[in-house]
Amino acid sequence: MSFFTDLAHQYIDGEWRTGGGSWDIIDFNPYNGEKLASVTVATVGEVDEAYRAAERAQRAWAGTNPYTRRLVFERALRITEDREDEIVDAITDELGGTRLKAQYEIHLAKEFLREAIQLALYPEGRILPSPVDGKENRVYRVPVGVIGVISPFNFPFLLGMKSIAAALALGNAVVVKPNQNSPVTGGGLIAKVFEDAGLPAGLLNVIVTDIAEIGDALLVHPVPKVISFAGSDRVGRHVASVTASRFKRAVLELSGNSALVVLDDADIDYAVDAAVFSRYVFQGQCCMAANRLLVDRSVEREFTEKFTSRVRALKTGDPREADTHIGPVISEFQAEALTGLVDQAVAEGAEALVRGRTIGNLVEPTVLAGLPFDSPLMSQEIFGPVALLNSFDGEEEAVRIANESPYGLSGAVHTGNVERGVSFARRIETGMFHVNDGTVHDEPLVAFGGEKFSGMGRLNGASTVEAFTTQKWISVQHSRSHFPF
């Protein structure tokens, strides 16, 4: 099967079809510019068809024995394992990520499929006491119905699968709109896995389109009760506003500005390893990436020398080559924006300890030091291979600097004293923080999400059950009630 030939379509009510729009989304390989696929956009009418198909199919699916539902996810896991090499190639070609990144993404996607197998059995009912004699209160956990998923380009197979598999396992139906830069790995490929796994038609629908064609149709349509969105905080604010005005629930995974903090008693070599990965994984195009490297002044020189040495040794180039560390960023626009950002930082007084070149979509790694803490660049998300390195004097200043950000997604601290690290982590205003590790982590059972402008709500494990189901109270009056009139 050629993924980019066979799966670059709309998938509505179990049928692969061409969109009804008048223009195409072109899917390019960001490394070599090769045209991978062309997808005619879906229209507002096709968004409605997808949601109505999901609504029809969901009723029977919700009534299906959960032990039967989970068989679909067992098969989906086996299919993903069988096709892993092909999926790695597709992710590498469509996103420009290295093979190591693609393998890491599939590894996590498989973990979330394993969790979906269990999620089918998670929802539990409760019987609660009543102050009314003869009354029994039953509280059921039930699917919300239909969920709209809007996935990003950076980890499309993982983040698409994470919401889609969980939503389906809990008895919902899904309409997903993948990012325009990843219509196959974030849409058609996931649909094909579930189609081949025996998922009934209509339960998963893929809409490849753009807001220039459909506006807010995915958000305002009356069928979906929950919107799961991963992307920038700018778009996330709009999603939150539109969904709230229509009493829909939104789960938002948004931008980050993570700090990786190195205290005076840290293992410097280990902290350098964590920092290099946390900043440069997938060219820095990751919401959890360590934007800011904050180092205690007493160890600044040693850390800086070792860190910059490691960064200079990173290979930038063809993502299909096994020894490539940094592939292309997603587009020429992004490459030019990053170049301009570095120029701006230097103009503001930063020192370029490592200054990478920009060659097409390849942006070599850069390390900037000494940028003023009040610079706007210190408080924004940098979606590319640019590290900001600053020093601090003592823990109190480190806490203050780490918290001086409108974002609060992830972070890490390195120290020789674990409990000191935990105490530090508890003071940082983020949804996630890691002691003696990197900033980039996601696990199926642990609540994932951010504070401040980094998002709203949580996913994974019990948090996913909370997000994608609702509670229904049914009371039973076993004896006769007495009414006042």
Q: Which of 230, 155, 219, 165 is nearest to 197 (CA)?
A: 165
Beta strands in 144-265 (DSSP E): 146-150, 173-177, 204-206, 226-230, 249-253, 258-262
Q: How far apart are CA 346 and CA 353, in angstroms?
A: 11
146-150 β-sheet, strand order: 15-17, 10-12, 204-206, 173-177, 146-150, 226-230, 249-253, 455-456
Per-residue pLDDT of the chain (485 residues; tens, 9 = 90+): 689 999 999 999 999 999 999 999 999 999 999 999 999 999 999 999 999 999 999 999 999 999 999 999 999 999 999 999 999 999 999 999 999 999 999 999 999 999 999 999 999 999 999 999 999 999 999 999 999 999 999 999 999 999 999 999 999 999 999 999 999 999 999 999 999 999 999 999 999 999 999 999 999 999 999 999 999 999 999 999 999 999 999 999 999 999 999 999 999 999 999 999 999 999 999 999 999 999 999 999 999 999 999 999 999 999 999 999 999 999 999 999 999 999 999 998 999 999 999 999 999 999 999 998 888 889 999 999 999 999 999 999 999 999 999 999 999 999 999 999 999 999 999 999 999 999 999 999 999 999 999 999 999 999 999 999 999 999 999 999 989 99
Q: Which of 293, 291, 259 is nearest to 382 (CA)?
A: 291
Q: Which of 195, 287, 300, 364 is catalytic?
A: 287
Q: Which of 180, 204, 263, 158 is nearest to 8 (CA)?
A: 180
Supply the DSSP string of 46-64, one letter for each residue.
Answer: HHHHHHHHHHHHHHHHHTS
Q: Which of 46, 195, 213, 253 is catalytic?
A: 253
Q: Which of 287, 277, 320, 283 is nearest to 29 (CA)?
A: 320
Q: How far apart are CA 116 and CA 229, in angstroms?
A: 19
Beta bridge partners of 212: none
| CB neighbour list of residue 272: distance below 8 Å, 6 or more residues apart | 303, 306, 307, 310
CA atoms within 13 A on the CB side of 397: 13
> Annotated catalytic, 253?
yes
What 32-37 contacts at long range (C-beta under 8 Å, 24+ apart), as own/partner pairs, is 33/360, 34/93, 36/4, 36/8, 36/93, 36/94, 36/184, 37/4, 37/5, 37/8, 37/183, 37/184
Q: How far apart are CA 96 and CA 101, in angstroms?
A: 10
> Annotated catalytic, 136?
no
Query: Domains in the chain, please, with CATH?
Result: 3-254+454-473 (3.40.605.10), 258-435 (3.40.309.10)
Task: Judge residue 235's burial from the number of C-beta atoms within 10 Å of its C-beta, 0-12 exposed, 13-18 middle, 19 or more buried.
Answer: middle
The angle subtended at Cα 103 by Cα 380 and Cα 311, nearest 5°, is: 50
Contact (CB, 8 A) for 201 and 57: yes
H-only helix segments in 330-412: 332-347, 395-403
| CB neighbour list of residue 343: distance below 8 Å, 6 or more residues apart | none
